[in-house]
Amino acid sequence: MPIRKVKGGYKWGSKGKVYRNRKDAERQAAAAYASGYKKSMDWFDTLKREKHPALKRAGVSGFSKPKRTPNHPTKSHIVVVRDGKKVKTIRFGQQGADTVTEKNPKGKRKKKQASFKARHAKNIKRGKTSAAYWANKVKW
């Protein structure tokens, strides 16, 4: 836990005494660590240290990072999303759909794109935990 400057001096930790000089605050920190103080690990720190099992299973590099799945029979992409403490794996996009490609330039696909966005507008608004949101972001 870092020593920080506060009104009236220096402080180690979030509660407790304010020391007039930094040296006294450092002495307090050394005493706390010597007596067995350890920073508590919450679930987010644990996720930072090792790769989450859902990320390993899906084969993606991180949360909210979509990946193509060319060998999946029906869905073209996968993404793992974290919403608070909840972790969700989402497969989205029709395999082989004619969306953003060199064969299908932007001018010709405008109508198709508008139809998709109108048809799925309600689900896109649900946010990053919906497949429609990711299909809209990645494929259209």
pLDDT at 106 over 70: no
Quick one: 66 exposed, middle or buried, by C-beta within 10 A (0-12, 13-18, 19+)?
buried
Amino acid at 24: D
Using the predicted structure, report yes or no on whether residue 109 has a pLDDT greater than 80.
Answer: no
pTM reported for the whole predicted model: 0.62
Nearest CA among 118, 59, 65 for reference residue 140: 118
Residue-wise pLDDT for 10-65, tens only, equals 988 877 789 999 899 888 888 888 887 776 656 566 556 678 889 999 999 999 99
- E strand or H helix at 5: strand 3-6
Q: What's the pLDDT at 45? A: 62
